[in-house]
Amino acid sequence: MPLARSLSVTSLSGLEEWDEEFDREDAVLFEIAWEVANKVGGIYTVIQTKARLTCEEWGENYFLVGPYMESSVRTQVELIEPCNATLRRTIDKMNSSGCKVYFGRWLIEGSPYVILLDVGFTAWSLDRWKIELWENFSIGVPWFDREANDAVLFGFLTAWLLGELTITTRECDEPPHIVAHFHEWLAGLGLVLCRQRQLPVATIFTTHATLLGRYLCAGSVDFYNKLAEFNVDKEAGDRQIYHRYCLERAAARCAHVFTTVSQITAIEAEHLLKRKPDIVTPNGLNVKKFSAMHEFQNLHAQSKARIQEFVRGHFYGHLDFNLDKTVFLFIAGRYEFSNKGADIFLEALARLNYLLRVNHSEVTIIAFFIMPARTNNFNVETLKGQAVRKQLWDTAQTVKERFGKKLYESLLVGQLPDVSKMLDKEDFTMMKRAIFATQRQCLPPICTHNMLEDSSDPILNCIRRIGLFNSAQDRVKVIFHPEFLSSTSPLLPVDYEEFVRGCHLGVFPSYYEPWGYTPAECTVMGIPSVSTNLSGFGCFMEEHIADPSAYGIYILDRRYRGVDESCNQLTSFLFQFCQQSRRQRIIQRNRTERLSDLLDWRYLGRATGFRYPRPASVPPSPAHSLHSSPHHSEAEDEEEPYDEDLEVEKDRVNIRQPFNLPNRNKNQTVGLPEKN
């Protein structure tokens, strides 16, 4: 597609006019971000997941530019010599001038080329570049802000790289068009320098979340209703981020094309960065479709069994609830108590606990909080729980083997066993000792780790206030795991993807969430989720789905309701979800997984103007239940088998009709119109 340029910046010199259409073979794309081969935040996921598709489209003309981090490079990057002669001369020239520039392949899907700039090696230039920054842009960076210092070094090195490249390509008969796509303020200075030096480079700047927006929301202000009223310079100065804000705003203003990831962030950027984005580019994922419909359901069952094993150990001595009637909820992400909605989630859990108790529900809720915080080690009581569980399992296996041997010997001599004699005194002694080991004088722990700041931790203080202490009377239990999940953990040995697959519902009631990868990941794995109309994901789903809750996408209203009203709405969502039968949850997971095409990088551009209709059958929600919907009792579930192929065909026909979509082969991807 032709490169769009905002009218407000076409007068800035440096970039020659391009033809409306140009051959991609004559263009080179550089994608610049601090998160290239450097896992810091969500932008890492954005770049990593779309690398394969971008490599397919741009081939050898696509290069990622990021910082050189030795620990990451050892495990993620294969260092090689540049195959492009022009680029090789550029890197050699920079290295001979006092830089350290590395070239290699990032070992992810697509194996994209990466150019890594060693900011530490060039730190000797920091003062000189800061002076240049002040003289040319009147932006002063304080010495104590290490992150901003890194942004200065990275920005000048990026501009140096692109500048040397443009000089080298002038020697070519037909120099290629250079496109540079910068992500976030940490990389934005490179864009500003390209424009100030009038380099013939087409620039794109994407903000995934504004700096000031994140800080303001963390301060519990009425952010979205007062966007137009903020004195942005004063607010940034009060929070000691004025220099960072200036770098971000300069990048947004200087870019030929300014983009953001959602409509809600576009409104924010227009008010805080003083420029309306030219294009909204939603974030996607690499979606892996299963050949058989039931495959992802099997993965859910397997992962759920792993989580259930952990729960058996964590609640030893207090396992007075039925795990087959237990629903696993979770919230995960950066530990921003209010921005990520952990506060409203906890309050809703307290209200849900009351509703389940007064209604004498047999359902138990276990809510996981997966948010990294400062800890010094695992909680001893938590580790002991897993040891006790393993000891009980070993005892059961020993007794089973002894029982099996006696049964086998009895059958060998042609006699039916005397069951009363199959277990001897030693067996009973062994089992009694195992039972006594499960006795516990304290309640199951809330937190799996020893917190360094226990007394001031927001989640733990909120739990103390609402009184959810995992007691026998509580129908809602809480487990706070303040560390990223890992399959090598001695406590909960699952990686994040496996954990998500094993849960029933992801809850992300964020107040500030420019996009929201956590609910998106739930969707592609067939797990229903709660998000909000203040998140990019929630707004995107509202735009493209007529009835999101029917597809397992519950969207909480946090824009037009007060906190208490939003909390009541979330409680209602959770209570309705708890009332669903196992069959209803299976149907809903199938529908959720069918939305995965909407979030696939390959199809994101085709979803414009498309809107999923309501499902052909009534959504499996107790609040909307009619006679045609799935029934509630397990007995009726068994009498009325669920035909997934029939359900898919109903939805396929239902989705085609309103849009006159062509008929598809049954094995084809369903749900999106063909590109015109």
Separation of alpha carbons 671 and 655, rounded Å: 7
Mean pLDDT of 550-564: 94
Q: How many domains does the chain have?
A: 3
Q: What pLDDT, on the 0 to 100 scale, is given for residue 636? A: 40
Do 170 and 254 fall within a single domain? yes
- Please list, in sequence order, all residues whose beta carbon lies within 8 angstroms of the beta carbon of residue 413, skipping any fewer than 6 positions away: none
Q: What pLDDT, on the 0 to 100 scale, is given for residue 200? A: 93
Residue 117 lies in a domain: yes
What's the CATH number where 571 sits?
A: 3.40.50.2000
The Cα-based distances of 631 to 179, 504, 619, 628, 641 in angstroms read 56, 19, 12, 9, 11
- Which residues are bridge partners to 202 per DSSP? 179
At residue 326, φ and ψ (nearest 5 deg) are -110, 135
pLDDT band at 438 (very low <50, low <70, confident <90, very high): confident
Do 136 and 274 fall within a single domain? yes
Do 487 and 505 fall within a single domain? yes
- Please list, in sequence order, all residues whose beta carbon lies within 8 angstroms of the beta carbon of residue 335, skipping any fewer than 6 positions away: 371, 372, 373, 482
CA within 13 Å, CB half, 279: 15
> What is the separation of C-alpha 450 from the centre of its chain, rounded to a whole number of angstroms?
26
Q: What pLDDT, on the 0 to 100 scale, is given for residue 605? A: 60
Do 108 and 30 fall within a single domain? yes
Q: Using the 3D structure, point to which of 599, 631, 658 is the last residue of a domain.
A: 599
Separation of alpha carbons 38 and 525, rounded Å: 25
Separation of alpha carbons 563 and 394, rounded Å: 49
Cα-based torsion angle of the residue sequence 653, 659, 663, 669 in order, rounded to the nearest 10 degrees = -80
Q: Using the 3D structure, point to which of 599, 633, 652 is the last residue of a domain.
A: 599
What pLDDT digit, counting tens, does each position of 349-362 carry?
999 999 999 999 99
Residue 525 lies in a domain: yes
Residue 633 lies in a domain: no
Separation of alpha carbons 348 and 571, rounded Å: 5
Do 79 and 179 fall within a single domain? yes
Separation of alpha carbons 46 and 184, rounded Å: 12
pLDDT band at 644 (very low <50, low <70, confident <90, very high): low
Residue 11 lies in a domain: no
At residue 252's C-alpha, the angle toward residues 250 and 254, to 5°, is 65
Residue 105 · residue 51 · CB < 8 Å = no
Mean pLDDT of 565-582: 96
Centre a 10 Å sphere on the Cβ of residue 170 and count the other Cβ atoms it contains.
9
- Please list, in sequence order, all residues whose beta carbon lies within 8 angstroms of the beta carbon of residue 8, skipping any fewer than 6 positions away: 275
Mean pLDDT of 530-553: 93
What pLDDT digit, counting tens, does each position of 148-161 carry?
999 999 999 999 99
Q: Using the 3D structure, point to which of 580, 599, 618 is the last residue of a domain.
A: 599
Q: What pLDDT, on the 0 to 100 scale, is given for residue 610? A: 64
Residue 4 lies in a domain: no
Mean per-residue pLDDT of the chain: 87
Residue 528 · residue 234 · CB < 8 Å = no
pLDDT band at 635 (very low <50, low <70, confident <90, very high): very low
Pairwise pLDDT comparison (289 vs 178), residue with the higher score: 178
Do 139 and 248 fall within a single domain? yes
- Which residues are bridge partners to 31 per DSSP? 64, 181
% of the chain beyond a pLDDT of 70: 86
CA within 13 Å, CB half, 145: 16
- Residue 406 is part of which domain span? 390-444
Q: What pLDDT, on the 0 to 100 scale, is given for residue 7? A: 37
What pLDDT digit, counting tens, does each position of 15-49 carry?
566 555 666 678 999 999 999 999 888 899 999 99
pLDDT band at 11 (very low <50, low <70, confident <90, very high): very low
Do 353 and 422 fall within a single domain? no
DSSP assignment of 525-581: TT--EEEETTBHHHHHHHHHBSSGGGGTEEEE--SSS-HHHHHHHHHHHHHHHHH--
User: At residue 396, does pLDDT exceed 70?
Assistant: yes
Do 363 and 438 fall within a single domain? no
Residue 675 lies in a domain: no
User: At residue 608, does pLDDT exceed 60?
Assistant: no
- Please list, in sequence order, all residues whose beta carbon lies within 8 angstroms of the beta carbon of residue 464, skipping any fewer than 6 positions away: none
Do 232 and 344 fall within a single domain? no
| Nearest C-alpha neighbor of 460 from the set 339, 374, 385, 381 | 374
Q: What pLDDT, on the 0 to 100 scale, is given for residue 655? A: 53
Q: What pLDDT, on the 0 to 100 scale, is given for residue 606? A: 61
Q: What pLDDT, on the 0 to 100 scale, is given for residue 631? A: 38
pLDDT band at 638 (very low <50, low <70, confident <90, very high): very low
Do 320 and 233 fall within a single domain? no
Pairwise pLDDT comparison (223 vs 15), residue with the higher score: 223
Highest mean pLDDT among 387-396, 500-509, 591-600 belongs to: 500-509
What pLDDT digit, counting tens, does each position of 70-122 carry?
999 999 999 999 988 999 999 999 999 999 999 999 999 999 999 999 999 99
Q: What pLDDT, on the 0 to 100 scale, is given for residue 227? A: 92
At residue 113, φ and ψ (nearest 5 deg) are -70, 140
Residue 486 is classified by DSSP as: B
Residue 555 lies in a domain: yes
User: SS3 of 197, please?
Assistant: coil
Mean pLDDT of 507-518: 95
pLDDT band at 642 (very low <50, low <70, confident <90, very high): low
Residue 606 lies in a domain: no
Exposure string over 655-671, b if 16+ CB within 10 A, otherwise e: bbeeeebeeeeeeeebb
Do 199 and 259 fall within a single domain? yes
At residue 529, φ and ψ (nearest 5 deg) are -150, 160
What pLDDT digit, counting tens, does each position of 258-306 carry?
999 999 999 999 999 999 999 999 999 888 766 566 788 889 999 999 9
Q: What pLDDT, on the 0 to 100 scale, is given for residue 623? A: 45
What pLDDT digit, counting tens, does each position of 224-261 carry?
988 999 999 999 999 999 999 999 999 999 999 999 99
| Nearest C-alpha neighbor of 475 from the set 368, 571, 356, 577 | 356
| Nearest C-alpha neighbor of 235 from the set 218, 259, 258, 251 | 218
Do 320 and 408 fall within a single domain? no
Output the pTM of the full model. Answer: 0.85
Pairwise pLDDT comparison (11 vs 403), residue with the higher score: 403
